[in-house]
Structures are given as structure tokens and as C-alpha cells.
Amino acid sequence: MNTTKYLRLVIGGILLKILAPLALFLAAGFYLIGTSFANINNVHFLCFYPNMLIASAIIFVITLIILIYFLLKYVLSPFIYYEKANASSKEIVTTSNKLMKKKKLKLILLMLSFIGWFVLIGLIVSILAYFVEIKYITPFVLVLYSLLKPYITVSQSIFYEDCIDEQEIKK
């Protein structure tokens, strides 16, 4: 694996394309935190007003949705990188964007199918936290996640293969 090429893909190819939505999301998060503190302390500080808490939360959620939309365009880039080692970063990002057209909802539904596992892990950790010290829970969470991560990765790779197959059928 060529590390510098992968970094070029991540930084130059993906990060630059999501820089504007990421900056908007971070600004909205900063504003939400500021208005939350203004609401808690009931003070007006700079541009943070207590009565703007709901509006800032709505703006934060909207920017989060926009950021997720842009991230979903490039989620297949690592799979394309490993399959086409000689492709340029621009080619990989463009291919990922083409493959994800009209399939973003399908991927979201795939990722939402894992919520049950995460709720189960949260429930187990919550029960364990009642009986065991917190320093013993962190390794347990890491073990549970390391058992779940391959399942998620295989599901994403199957999704990628389905996207490739659909693309070849269209040609």
C-alpha cells in the first residue's frame, strides 16, 4: 500500500471537496455551543443569544445533513483505491462519486441496519458500568467494536461490489 498516494487521496481528493460543508458544520456547532452557554447562563455574549438556541440547533442539523450528503459521495473511495492501485486520486474520487449517484439512501439504510448492534453494545456497557469500574469497561467496548467492525466493512464491500455490478450492467 502506497501511504503517500492514500494520503493524497484523502487530503487532496476528498478533504478539499468537503471542506466547505465541513467548515459550515464546525461553525454551526460552535454557534450551537455558544448559544447553549448563553441559554444556560441567560446572558447575551457577542452574537450568542439565549433565544436563538432552537434556530442554532436547526442550523446545526441542516449542516450535518449537508456534510453527510457530501461524505456519502466519497465513501467508496478506499475500496476503489485498493482495487485500482494505478488510478489517480482524482480518478478514484470521480469514480466514487459516479458509483454513489442515486445510491446514497441505500447506503444510509445499510448503515442504519447496524443501529441494533450499537444499541445492544450500549445496553451491555450500561449494565456493566453499574457493576464494574469504568477502567475495565473500555477494553470490553473495544473488543465488542472489533467484533462488529469486520461485519460492517464486509457489508460495505458487498455494497461496493453491487455498485460495480450495476455500473457494468448499465454499460
Whether the pLDDT of residue 135 is over 90: the answer is no
Which residue has better confidence, 156 or 11? 156
Mean pLDDT of the chain: 86
- pLDDT of 3 over the 80 cut: no
3-state secondary structure of 42: coil
* CB-CB contact of 99 with 164 (8 Å): yes
Residue 141 has pLDDT above 70, yes or no: yes
What pLDDT, on the 0 to 100 scale, is given for residue 158?
Answer: 93
How large is the average pLDDT for residues 153-159?
A: 92
Give the pLDDT band (50/70/90) at residue 128: confident
Residue 76: other Cβ atoms inside 10 A? 26
CA angle 87, 110, 56 (to 5 degrees): 95
Average pLDDT over residues 59-86: 90
* Mean pLDDT, range 68-87, rounded to an integer: 88
pLDDT at 34: 85
pLDDT at 78 over 70: yes
- Which among 60, 43, 75 has a CA at the least distance from the CA of 159? 75
- The arithmetic mean of pLDDT across residues 82-109, rounded, is 88
